[in-house]
């Protein structure tokens, strides 16, 4: 097997977020590209659960644009991912407020029915649709905590940092969000 040595200017995927942030602060945009590649899927997933999917690409770009502009103010003692997910939450909050004021975009999910009920792919889509519709019925605060913890597997302590609330509040919101989601799913005929 031929191993090609990498030059010190190459950015292996294994470098820490902290190191990549340092490179960005020195004007190296390749470091930010790696941060983008590393975190964009999770940011996209968080925004997908919290916002109108039709504007998802624009919202993801907004998160990373704000991150790029805000890097000089980033506290080096914090985790980059926590800081970035807080930006994603802020973008989702801004989008929610704008939608509430204008109501130009309705967050209505349309589900297509299929005659192939024995297809596991269709059932998976059905349950995804149910979860998405259930999330829409939750308050934004409850939805945020449920998405971050149960769907994105972010630890409660990190959620508390992202949302700037006590860990006890995260636990309380998670409890109420799960109860509301359970009630919604039961109304939809899902056995829990």
* 192: exposed, middle or buried (Cβ count in 10 Å: 0-12, 13-18, 19+): exposed
Who wins on pLDDT, 113 or 132?
Answer: 132
CA distance 148 to 113: 29
HEC readout, 66-114 = HHHHHHHHCCCCCCHHHHHHHHHHHHHHHHHHHHHHHCCCCCCCCCCCC
Residues 67 and 142 in one domain: no
State how far the Cα of 48 lies from the Cα of 16, in Å rounded to an integer.
26
My answer on whether 141 and 93 are in the same domain is: no
* Co-location of 71 and 109 in the same domain: no
21: domain range?
13-102
CATH number at residue 30: 1.10.1740.10
Are 144 and 192 within one domain?
Answer: yes
What mean pLDDT is reported for the chain?
80
Residue 143 falls within a domain, yes or no?
yes
Task: Mention every residue, 6+ apart, whose C-beta is less than 8 A from residue 20.
Answer: 11, 31, 32, 34, 35, 80
| SS3 state at 155 | coil
Separation CA 108–CA 189 (nearest Å): 20
5 located within any domain: no
Burial of 113 (0-12, 13-18, 19+ CB in 10 A): exposed
Quick check: is 1 in a domain? no
Please give the residue that has the higher pLDDT: either 124 or 88: 88
Task: State residue 101's pLDDT score.
Answer: 60
pLDDT band for 163, please (50, 70, 90 cuts): very high
Residues 111 and 95 reside in one and the same domain: no
Q: Looking at the structure, do residues 65 and 133 belong to the same domain, yes or no?
A: no
Q: Are residues 135 and 180 in the same domain?
A: yes
Q: What is the CATH number of the domain that holds 129?
A: 1.10.10.10
With respect to residue 128, please indicate whether it lies within any of the assigned structural domains. yes
Q: What is the pLDDT of residues 2-44, one digit of tens each?
A: 333 333 344 445 689 999 999 988 988 899 999 999 999 999 9
149-179 burial by CB neighbour count: b if 16+ within 10 A, else e? beeeebebebbbbbbeeeeeebeebbebbbe
Of 67, 84, 102, the residue that ends a domain is 102
Domain limit, last residue, from 76, 102, 128: 102
Q: Is residue 60 part of a domain?
A: yes
Phi, psi angle pair for 91, to nearest 5°: -65, -45
Domain count for the chain, please give it.
Answer: 2
- Cβ atoms of 138 and 113 within 8 Å: the answer is no
What one-character DSSP code corresponds to residue 3? -
Are 93 and 167 contained in the same domain?
no
């Amino acid at each position: 097997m031929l191993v090609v040595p990498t030059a010190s200017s190459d950015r292996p995927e294994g470098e820490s977020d902290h190191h990549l942030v340092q490179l960005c602060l020195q004007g190296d945009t390749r470091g930010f590209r790696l941060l983008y590649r590393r975190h964009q899927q999770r940011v996209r997933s968080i925004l997908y659960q919290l916002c109108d999917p039709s504007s998802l690409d624009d919202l993801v770009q907004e998160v990373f644009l704000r991150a790029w502009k805000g890097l000089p103010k980033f506290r080096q003692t914090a985790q980059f991912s926590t800081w970035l997910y807080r930006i994603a939450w802020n973008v989702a909050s801004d989008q929610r407020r704008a939608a509430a004021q204008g109501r130009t975009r309705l967050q209505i999910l349309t589900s297509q029915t299929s005659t192939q009920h024995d297809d596991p792919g269709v059932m998976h889509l059905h349950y995804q649709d149910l979860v998405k519709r259930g999330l829409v019925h939750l308050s934004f605060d409850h939805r945020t905590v449920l998405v971050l913890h149960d769907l994105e597997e972010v630890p409660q302590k990190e959620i508390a940092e992202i949302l700037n609330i006590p860990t006890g509040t995260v636990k309380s919101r998670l409890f109420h969000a799960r109860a509301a989601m359970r009630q919604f799913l039961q109304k939809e005929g899902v056995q829990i």
